[in-house]
Structure 1
Amino acid sequence: MKIYLIGFMGSGKSFWGRKLSESMKLPFFDLDDMIVQQENKPVTDIFMEKGEEYFRGIEKEMLHDLTASHENFIISCGGGTPCFFGNIDYMKSNGKVIWLNTAADVLIERLLKEKKHRPLLSDIPDEDMKAFIMKKLHDRKLYYEQAHLSLPEETLSLKQIQEAVENE
């Protein structure tokens, strides 16, 4: 079984991916962490030094490599992964795509606390964060909505996610 977790940054993909991996005894990969290992630098540095386009290309390659080289896994995708290079269609044709659909207010609260670690947010003043997140979320929702499953992250339990995955 191949499971791709998608959703906006701060939606809980890595958190739930690790839990689901333990529970289902499947390998877990965090796409951003894999890129950091390969490039030997943080995502923020990759964005600053080589740009988003370079990052998205590496992200696509990593997604395809992991998919081709493993029969079973859970992948926590970056927030923008489904939005580039037809990645959403690729994931849907190779496994189950689950959107952790987290409320905007929850995302804003979480992301304000960790914005220095988020390349798309690091230069945005706190007072402009809500508008930026709302716009970016609106732009990406078109891709997120294509997932096989949409789960409200704030009310999730591990049991609910497993049942949803197994019954899809």
Structure 2
Amino acid sequence: MKIFLLGFMGAGKSYWGKQLSSHWDLPYFDLDEVIVEREGMPVADIFNTKGEDYFRRREAEVLRELVSENDRFLISCGGGTPCFSDTMDFMNEAGKTIWLNPSVAVMVERLQRKQYKRPLIQDLSAEDLSAFTEKKLAERQPYYEQSQVIISEDEITLETFDKLISHA
């Protein structure tokens, strides 16, 4: 089984990725963490020194490498991963895509807790963060909507995933 967790920043991809990989006994990769390890610098530094275009190209390369190197896995993708380099089509062909789509209010509340770690939002006020989230989410939604499974509840459990994903 090859599973890709998708969604905006603060949707819960990393949290659920760790929970589900353990629950389903799958190797787990956080795409951003793999990129950080391979590049030897934090995502924010990659953005600042090499630019977003470089990061997006590297993200697509690393994702494809992980897919080719592993027969089964769960990957938590970055929020923008599906939106570049035909990555959404690639993921849909390679495995099962799951869009975690909680309410904007829930995502903003989560983002405020670790805002300093995220290069796209680190300098935004609370009001600007909410507006930014709504705007970026609207831009990315056409990609996210191509997911094979969409979970739009704010409160989800492992059982929610078990019911929606056949992992036999």
Question: Which band: TM-score by shorter chain?
Answer: over 0.9
Letter in 2 for 1:97: T
Structure with the larger helix share: 1
Please state how far the C-alpha of 1:95 moved relative to its aligned partner: 0.3
Q: TM-score, normalised by structure 1?
A: 0.96
Q: Which residue number corresponds to residue 63 of structure 1? A: 63
Q: Which residue number corresponds to residue 126 of structure 1? A: 126
For the 8 Å contact 1:31–1:76, the answer to whether it is kept is yes
Q: Give the 5 Å matches for 1:104-119.
A: 104-119=104-119
Letter in 1 for 2:165: V
Please state how far the C-alpha of 1:152 moved relative to its aligned partner: 2.3
Letter in 2 for 1:140: R
Please state how far the C-alpha of 1:153 moved relative to its aligned partner: 4.7
Query: Distance in 2 between the 1:64 and 1:98 partners?
Result: 17
Q: Secondary structure at the match of 1:29?
A: strand
Q: Give the 5 Å matches for 1:42-121.
A: 42-121=42-121
5+ residue gaps, structure 2 = none
Q: Which residue number corresponds to residue 18 of structure 1? A: 18
Comparing 23-32 with 154-163, greater Cα deviation is found at 154-163
Q: Could you list the runs of 4 or more consecutive aligned residues of structure 1 that deviate by over 3 angstroms after TM superposition?
A: none
Letter in 1 for 2:57: G
Residues 41-63 of structure 1: per-residue CA shift (max 9 Å, x gap): 11111101111000001100010
Over aligned residues, Cα RMSD in angstroms?
1.4
5+ residue gaps, structure 1 = none
Query: Distance in 1 between the 2:24 and 2:130 partners?
Result: 36
Query: Distance in 2 between the 1:84 and 1:153 partners?
Result: 26
Aligned length: 168
Q: Which residue number corresponds to residue 8 of structure 1? A: 8
For the 8 Å contact 1:20–1:162, the answer to whether it is kept is no
Q: Which residue number corresponds to residue 140 of structure 2? A: 140
Q: Which residue number corresponds to residue 41 of structure 1? A: 41
Residues 16-40 of structure 1: per-residue CA shift (max 9 Å, x gap): 1111111111100000000010111
Q: Secondary structure at the match of 1:3?
A: strand
Residues 50-99 of structure 1: per-residue CA shift (max 9 Å, x gap): 11000001100010000011110000000000000110000000000000
Q: Secondary structure at the match of 2:51?
A: helix
Letter in 2 for 1:8: F
Query: Distance in 2 between the 1:132 and 1:100 partners?
Result: 18
Letter in 2 for 1:103: S
